[in-house]
Amino acid sequence: MEAIGVLMAGPMSPYLEQELDKRFKLFRFWKFPQKTEFLKENSNSIRAVVGYTTAGADAQLIDSLPGLEIVASYSVGLDKIDLEKCKEKGIRVTNTPDVLTEDVADLAIGLILATLRKMCECDRYVRSGLWKKGDFRLTTKFSGKSVGIIGLGRIGSAIAKRAEAFGCPISYFTRSEKPDSEYKYYPNVIDLASNCQILIVACPLTSETCHIINREVINALGPKGILINIGRGPHVDEPELVSALVEGRLGGAGLDVFEHEPEVPEQLFGLDNVVLLPHVGSATVETRNAMADLVIGNLEAHFLKKPLLTPVV
């Protein structure tokens, strides 16, 4: 397979890069500032693109690669890949579901605890020597709080399972009710937000779910409510979130993702009711390597004409 051209869209994982290099003719797209020149010279030999959350495969890239057969995403989210274009052109698409579910769900619970119990601020308190001057102020209990989840897929369900262990009543919003779920269903996000204390975004980013967290939803969640986002930044209308936090219309937020990553609104930096993480939901050695193995497994399966491991298109 050494002659098969694989285009890696960005520097997503040194392990994946090394393993792709061993098997294929690897092109590191980010190393070529003159993209048009690069594509002119190499587009005919590229048969696969490996994308991720920062750089995927948009219509322009897909159209510029006449030999493209497969886009293998190093992510479960597919929002950076033009799926319609891939379908239209008969290009296969794979992602990395399941292997990252536990890590992302664990991090969602970690964000809830860090936000309510002010763990990051507590840490800063100890490090700066303030503890010697007095005890830290009281925080807010997590166990038993009502949790609302937007999206009850693999990750949403794994979060629900964990929150249940904390004695939390669970409710959810999805496009249609899940007949097998015992959790309370709300057919709209505002009602879900009005009826929970912690609202978690865990759905895929699509045109329907972009800005699913808007001013009305934030106001429904209210000054004691907490928003947790482990989905995608654009799920949230970020200026609305910032003003709600600054004005005290929302109790707090735990955010792993942002609308214009790695840019984070600076107004958030001074707030003690937010916890800000640099998109690390799946970022453990174990999971990232498993994601890389899945990307490689899908590419090998495709070029050996075997069934794909995790096909999307």
Query: Which residues are catalytic, by number?
Result: 232, 261, 279
Looking at the Cβ atoms of 80 and 118, the one nearer to ligand 8YV is 80
The size of the chain, in residues, is 313
Asked if 258 interacts with ligand 8YV (CB under 6 A), we say no
Asked if 53 interacts with ligand 8YV (CB under 6 A), we say yes
Site map 73..92 versus ligand 8YV, x via CB under 6 A? -xxxx---------------
DSSP character at residue 132:
G
Instruction: Give the CA radius of gyration of the chain.
Output: 21
Asked if 24 interacts with ligand 8YV (CB under 6 A), we say no
Looking at the Cβ atoms of 6 and 196, the one nearer to ligand 8YV is 6
Q: Is the peptide bond before 66 cis (omega within 30 degrees of 0)?
A: no
Q: How far is the CB of 268 from ligand 8YV (least distance, A)?
A: 20
Structural contact between residues 223 and 248, judged by C-beta atoms closer than 8 angstroms: yes
CA–CA separation, 283 and 129 (whole Å): 31
Closest C-alpha to 52, from 13, 99, 12:
12
Looking at the Cβ atoms of 96 and 171, the one nearer to ligand 8YV is 96
The angle at the Cα of 80, spanning 227 to 62, to the nearest 5 degrees, equals 175
Q: List the interface residues with ligand 8YV, window 89-118 (CB under 6 A).
A: 100
CA–CA separation, 245 and 266 (whole Å): 13
Part of the chain binding ligand 8YV (CB under 6 A), chosen from 139-147, 171-179, 184-192, 279-287: 279-287
Asked if 52 interacts with ligand 8YV (CB under 6 A), we say yes
